[in-house]
Amino acid sequence: MSPPSRAPLHVLEVIGNAIVGGMESWVERFIERTLPGRIRFTALCPADGAYARRLRELGVDVHILPMADDPAWSSVQTAAALVQAGGVDLLHAHLPRAHVLAGLVGRLTGRPVLATIHGRQLTGLDLEVHRATGSHLSVVCRASFHGALGLGVSPALLSCDPNGVDTERFAPRRPAPTALRDSCGLGVCEPLVGFVGRLSPEKGPEVFVRLLQRLPAHGVFIGDGPLRAALQAACDAAGLSGRLHFAGLREDMAAVYNELDILVSTSHAEALPLALMEGMASGLPVVATRVGGVPELVAHGETGWLAGPGDVDELAGRCAALLADAALRRRMGEAGRRRVMARFDLGANVEAVGRLMEQLAGGERVALRA
């Protein structure tokens, strides 16, 4: 007689933001690509809206719960009751405030906690929660891994699980679509350099404005954030209003990358940016700042170019060289796609994190099921 089949691992995703960003996109893709018979998901989000709706469309039971760096007892109590009543086996936290809530609830309910650190460095809050609750930390690049070791994190409670990208969804398409260019009033032959990301200080969007002043090309910001108004003013002051476009948030990113000639990352701080992965998977050459885990992703001189953060002259010079040489753009774009497919495919990432979850949950899991 064959043994009874084991119930899927039940994971509570504790998500500290509900905006459109790299972390949120990774959680969505991870859930989408995980086999239902292996893991089932419940999610806690700090607000309802488009992101929570997309998770529900994936079959996730989504609960809305206020989260703060110093969470209210009502939030802790509600989350603990959800874990116990729903037979949750493991809590998976994203961002420091989610880590705080998950860490407390994990200790109260006796469940293991996995915290994925999506940024370049552990925050002080992440480190405090880890030390107090024994949560396992998963970082996304080697620079973050070595940084965590330097802060005294035990190797037994630390793993490096690089992000991955769906290389079937993000791929070169010919002929390329034109929706982005049409919205900017551009023809298919006009050179277009793109910035993809949140318009916030750590991403260095002001550097992109200065860079475009030095290029014979159009530029486009794809994303939104707190610096949008200031960037629009800087664009107008620099006389770039006809060449620098603000496309806002886009739902058709797989198509958008195919409309760009070069992808630029001007970040002052990064871990392993999903936008660069998506662009490289789409066959784009990239010019990026040498920060965090970016050098692990971009092979300098092979898939694109790296420059120091804030080095506008170097960034602009590399972009100009690519704009002047279509064969070089094509060669670097092809090399970038090969690199991403070999090292950063989403399937391998999903498998690695799934195995880690199963290891942390252990052999004997909670019997109660919702």
Do 76 and 109 fall within a single domain? yes
**Res 51: pLDDT:** 92
Which residues lie closer than 8 Å to 38 by C-beta, 6 or more apart?
8, 9, 354
Determine, yes or no, domain membership for 367. no
Q: Name the token pair of 353.
A: 């994190």
Task: Specify whether 239 is located in the same domain as 321.
Answer: yes
Task: Tell me what the pLDDT averaged over the chain comes to.
Answer: 94
Residues pairing with 13 in the sheet: 43, 92
Total domain count, the chain: 2
Residue 367: pLDDT band (50, 70, 90) is very low
pLDDT at residue 364 greater than cutoff 60: no
Q: Which residues of 22-59 are buried (b: 16+ CB within 10 A; e: fewer)?
A: bbbbbbbbbbbebeeeebbbbbbbbeeeebbebbeeee
The answer as to whether 14 is a domain residue is yes
Answer yes or no: do 313 and 203 share one domain.
yes
* Among candidate residues 139, 118, 120, 73, the one with its CA nearest the CA of residue 100: 73
Contact (CB, 8 A) for 72 and 86: no
pLDDT for position 3: 44
This prediction's pTM: 0.90
Clarify whether residues 149 and 258 are in a common domain.
Answer: no
pLDDT tens-digit readout, 302-358: 999 999 999 999 999 999 999 999 999 999 999 999 999 999 999 999 999 999 999
Q: Assess whether 323 and 354 both reside in one domain.
A: no
**Residue 191: which domain range?**
179-343
The predicted pLDDT at position 5 comes to 57
pLDDT at 25 exceeding the cut of 60: yes
Q: Where is 275: in which H helix or E strand?
A: helix 274-281
Determine the pLDDT at residue 369: 25
Residues 327 and 352 in one domain: no
* One domain for residues 245 and 337: yes
Is 246 inside a domain boundary?
Answer: yes
Residue 111 in this model has a pLDDT that exceeds 70: yes
In a domain, 369, yes or no: no
Residue 2 maps to a domain: no
Residue 2: is its pLDDT beyond 60? no
290 and 191 inside one domain? yes
Terminal alpha carbon distance of the chain: 27
Give the pLDDT confidence of 30-86 residue by residue, as tens digits. 999 998 889 999 999 999 999 999 999 999 999 999 999 999 999 999 999 999 999
Give mean pLDDT, residues 206-228.
97
Distance CA 182, CA 187 (A): 7
Over range 109-135, report the average pLDDT.
96
- Report how far Cα 86 is from the mean position of its chain's Cα atoms: 28
Q: Are residues 37 and 148 in the same domain?
A: yes
What CATH number does the domain containing 196 carry?
3.40.50.2000
> Does 339 share its domain with 350?
no
**pLDDT for residue 7:** 84
Residue 331 in tokens: 């060669």
pLDDT in tens, 237-253: 999 999 999 999 998 99
**Is residue 82 a part of any domain in this protein?**
yes
Task: Say what the pLDDT of residue 239 is.
Answer: 95
Residue 43: inside a domain? yes
Condensed to tens digits (0 to 9), the pLDDT of residues 146-164 reads 999 999 999 999 999 999 9
The confidence score (pLDDT) of residue 216 equals: 95
Query: Which has the higher per-residue pLDDT, 336 or 176?
Result: 336
Angle among Cα 32, 119, 154 to the nearest 5 degrees reads 100
154 lies in some domain: yes
Does residue 283 have a pLDDT over 80? yes
CB atoms within 10 A of CB 216: 10
Report the pLDDT averaged over residues 179-197.
96
126 pLDDT more than 70:
yes
Claim to verify: residue 106 and residue 193 sit in the same structural domain:
no
Sort strands 218-222 and 192-196 into parallel, antiparallel or unpaired: parallel
> Is residue 365 predicted with pLDDT exceeding 70?
no
**For residues 124-143, average pLDDT:** 96
159 and 40 in one domain?
yes
